[in-house]
Amino acid sequence: MQNLWKKKFTYKNISRVTDKDGARYYNCDGKKVPSVTTILDKTKSQKDKDSLNAWKEKVGHTEAFKIAKASMLRGDKMHKHIEDALHGKQALDLYDTIEIEKKMSQVIVNNALSKNLNEIWGCEAPLFYPNSHAGTTDLCGLYNNKESII
């Protein structure tokens, strides 16, 4: 996939700050704006919040924490494997990755990215809308020949 890289944009550096409540903000052109993740968290429906709390009560808070942490670690490993594939690198830590993580990553690379990704403009690219919000996108470029944030 390394041949898909096209330098189309110059991305500005933005710095991320997390406040004491865990909300993320970015410093964009000297202004503090909330992250997309923070906005989504704060605008989550009450039904979604209640469902998550009910699950935590059902499995217990300790077990819920363990499950959430394991899920986050699995996602991080998958993310790294996919990012390495986009950069044309072989992930060196795959020996530490359990089989399901390898398979899940390969499904995404083989069935979605390899077949439909036409150009890569950025990976882990900082994006922001002035005075409004900011974030880091996993991937942006042409997907099925359409400008896309992926």
- Determine contact, residues 63/56, Cβ cutoff 8 Å: no
Q: In what order do the strands lie in the sheet with 24-28?
A: 15-18, 24-28, 31-34
Strands 133-143 and 24-28, bridge-based pairing: unpaired
pLDDT digits (tens, 9 = 90+) for 50-96: 999 999 999 999 999 999 999 999 999 899 889 988 988 865 555 55
CA distance 62 to 59: 8
**Is the per-residue pLDDT at 99 higher than 90?**
no
- Determine contact, residues 107/82, Cβ cutoff 8 Å: no
pLDDT of residue 81: 87
Pair of tokens at residue 65:
């924490």
